[in-house]
Structure 1
């Protein structure tokens, strides 16, 4: 791809260099070649980038007083974001084409011609798969599943019957989408558990990414929905009937119990635990290992923007730190008292 086309697509300004320069990919300053893009978002990084072998360097405006001759320079207000978008544009697609001989595709499945289906994948009855989608080796796509355009389904993903995926969805290896939720009704007389019906649906909207070995359950009677642009890390569990808002971040080992909602732009860090029927408001940030009890609502109301909620029950980090400091003082005072009593008795 020529540099001028990349700049026109992503924005920024080409302030030096050949607009016809060929660009093959992105790389770090240390490993970049003449056909790679590197980025710098600090003064130190700018010096490294300008001194590297990278043919194209993306910098903030005014990051350097002068630029080395022969190097292509793109100025952007957010070089890291520009670099990330360039990586997606320049990403090399798999060389495989068509449907592998060992794949099993139901006769009534609607698979567009540009779809790639890897070895030993299984495509069920009445499945619809859009143009440009890749289905990895050993993936299992259940009956009546719909997958949109330009999705990437990595090896060994399992998508249960009836799930719907939008466009440009990425699902990493081992993820399971649309399994039964963990819902049971207990017989008080016998103590036996009977499964509550798990016959709802799962909807994954456009531009969602789901990490390796993560699981998202279908709704019990209605739906579970992961909204546009949300990014889910590895080893995350989302229970049945949940509604995860747009552009949410769910970090590894987070667990969200059934019938909970997470508002737009919220961030749930590693090992966050969410009880059932919880409401996490838009933009809320829950720090690592934070917990929210069942039925509770947590929001940014009355808090400064960017406030991190921490601990269990989750509360502002400053409050947690004050509580810990007070606990330390009380503990030290108690120890001092014990020492005085011991010395008197001795």
Structure 2
């Protein structure tokens, strides 16, 4: 693994270096776990108390937080320690798994498939009829891409992922392990005789924009007709459900265990907290935030933050919680 001086790291961060350390830095670590060869991060005042006793030789600190440098222990002041941390992690990021052959001999590739330049296809992958892979696409072992699907340049698909037929995937996307793209939407209706359920055919597809990242074991279902759409730059956590005919705008975030029911519409820059659930045919307008664990039953205005179950304006919900605590103490 690479190692860097504090000057090397500050050259990347372009922060304010206070103090100095001669210790070579071999990686980042939490303040409480760090050793003398580690750099750490302080993005909140609640972590300042750990700095004095930490063994870390350096820390990256928000410039609005007061932290003292010690002998042979430096600090780098930056505007945003979280964003600076991302740059430091990139410095120490190790190379992904190596392909010994670009296309493994056990991969099954239909004769009509079009494979772009520089693609890497791992063991036991399946690529169906009329599939098109752009340049530099990476499919790790045991990925299935079914008929007439297209995948854009520089997209990476990790093992166990299944992309069903007729889906359209953009460039520079990342799908982590066991992602499901284009499975049937959940559509059933009671039969006329009331003695069973009728499955509603799901004949649409999934369209995913550029630079989308989808976490492990998440599902994006195909539309009943037309398309389920994920806009450019969206980031989706592990174990997220996106149901048929939902439409996400650009640069939305969905945290783990959250879910969209059928035909939900998100504007641009919407944030959905962990374990939040959104009712079908609901619209959450651009810039809105849904708090963790909330249940959205009605449309949410642009820029609004909602909390609770059922979700309400965050300020109103917080007032209710305060009143309930006061009543409980009476």
**Which bin holds the TM-score, normalised by the shorter protein?**
0.7 to 0.9
TM-score between the two structures when normalised by the length of structure 1: 0.75
- Cα separation, 2, equivalents of 1:239 and 1:101: 36
Quickly say closer, same or farther: Cα 1:191–1:181, change in 2 above 3 A: same
Selected match of 1:152 from 136, 152, 156? 156
Q: Which residue of 1 aligns with 2:259?
A: 255
Selected match of 2:275 from 243, 259, 271? 271
Q: Which residue of 1 aligns with 2:116?
A: 112
Q: Which 10-residue stretch deviates more, 60-69 or 242-251?
A: 60-69
**1:86-107 per-position Cα deviation (integer Å, ceiling 9, x unaligned):** 4346532324221223222223
Contact 2:18 2:69 in 1 (8 A): no
Selected match of 2:128 from 108, 124, 134? 124
Quickly say closer, same or farther: Cα 1:324–1:68, change in 2 above 3 A: closer
Q: Which residue of 2 aligns with 1:206?
A: 210
TM-score between the two structures when normalised by the length of structure 2: 0.78
- Cα separation, 2, equivalents of 1:14 and 1:207: 32
- Cα separation, 1, equivalents of 2:246 and 2:26: 41
1:291-306 to structure 2, matched below 5 A, reads 291-293=295-297, 296-299=298-301
SS at match of 1:39: strand
Q: Which 10-residue stretch deviates more, 91-100 or 37-46?
A: 37-46
- Cα separation, 1, equivalents of 2:62 and 2:327: 50
- Cα separation, 2, equivalents of 1:116 and 1:24: 31
Contact 1:37 1:83 in 2 (8 A): no
Quick check: 1:309 aligned with 2:311? Answer: no
Alpha-carbon distance, 1:202 to partner? 0.9
Quickly say closer, same or farther: Cα 1:155–1:22, change in 2 above 3 A: farther
Unaligned runs of 5+ in 2: none
- Cα separation, 1, equivalents of 2:293 and 2:68: 45
Contact 2:19 2:70 in 1 (8 A): no
Contact 2:113 2:132 in 1 (8 A): yes
Contact 1:46 1:59 in 2 (8 A): no
Alpha-carbon distance, 1:213 to partner? 1.5
Alpha-carbon distance, 1:158 to partner? 0.6
- Cα separation, 2, equivalents of 1:325 and 1:14: 42
Alpha-carbon distance, 1:172 to partner? 1.8
Q: Which has the larger radius of gyration?
A: 1
